[in-house]
Structure 1
């Protein structure tokens, strides 16, 4: 795969495919594919990212999956998407209009997972507004509950806490 450019020019197609289908118990939503993930064509692919480790440690998957195994997640009732499907980079590198909130809400309405879990407060704020906290939110989208997690990114290590991921698994 070609090395993606970071910045404001959007790609003509999604960087990473959505992993969605009706009947999922949980869908994770990040902000955008990072450079490593875009390059490898796999969600949460940077070795410093805690996503795959957290899924296993929280009991959401029976083993630790490799990033390239992301298409297997629906077998465990889990889906994946991002707010910025056509941009690559860290949150501070994304243009203001990168997030497509209406598209995310349409996907959630169409697939109606049991839970939508944002993998950062930044992603959650883009959809829910400024007043978010970690954990289960008071707001829902139809029958889909909403949960906010600390980012698994290595760059957000100061906010990392596996306890929130464990709480998600038991909610």
Structure 2
């Protein structure tokens, strides 16, 4: 069963125990918050990247985000009540302890931050100190990947390679089952 969210949540968490992958953003975009779907802005590369990297067997649409739970893929944000671009999210809405509690409760095997900003908030380090791709292992946490933001606003920093690295890791997880 998926976690129940409060009415203040912009987007519902998609969590089940032991998911193979959970995508973690900073907060819902304004468009995503309006329609209730993750990565919903037409200029966002998330859904295309997910398929092109080989993480999903086909290209899903934002309105199908809940269907990915059947593939072992979940979603959440560090701010469940904020919405907008990263620089518009009020610091007091960022809930890293709440996110860590979800990790403890649901124990996903892999976490993928969908921006260096989200990862920097989690790690408490500047974005410039965060590398893309698989992060150094911390035995108290699942495997962690940092992906370039799929937002159209971040297109100057776009590369599919970290998404492909994540896809290879996920495929290896499936092969080991």
TM-score above 0.5, yes or no: yes
What are structure 1's unaligned runs of at least 5 residues? 1-10
Shift of 1:13: 1.5
From 150, 163, 166, give the equivalent of 1:165.
163
From 107, 115, 118, give the equivalent of 1:120.
115
Residue matched to 2:104: 109
Shift of 1:142: 2.6
Residue matched to 1:145: 143
- TM (normalized to structure 2)? 0.87
Equivalent pairs counted in the alignment come to 161
Gap change, CA 1:163 and 1:96, over 3 Å in 2:
same
Q: Does residue 91 of the first structure (1) align with residue 79 of the second (2)?
A: no
CA distance in 1, matches of 2:93, 2:8: 13
Gap change, CA 1:141 and 1:13, over 3 Å in 2:
farther
> Deviation string for 1:50-73 (max 9, x for gaps)?
000011111111110010000001
Cα contact 1:26–1:77 (8 A) shared by 2: yes
Higher helix content, 1 or 2: 2
From 40, 45, 54, give the equivalent of 1:45.
40
Moved over 4 A (4+): none
Q: Does residue 57 of the first structure (1) align with residue 46 of the second (2)?
A: no
Residue matched to 1:6: none
- TM (normalized to structure 1)? 0.90
Shift of 1:143: 4.9
CA distance in 1, matches of 2:95, 2:102: 11
Gap change, CA 1:108 and 1:45, over 3 Å in 2:
same
Higher strand content, 1 or 2: 1
Superposition RMSD in Å: 1.4
Shift of 1:12: 5.4
What are structure 2's unaligned runs of at least 5 residues? 1-5, 170-177
Shift of 1:100: 0.1
Residue matched to 1:74: 69
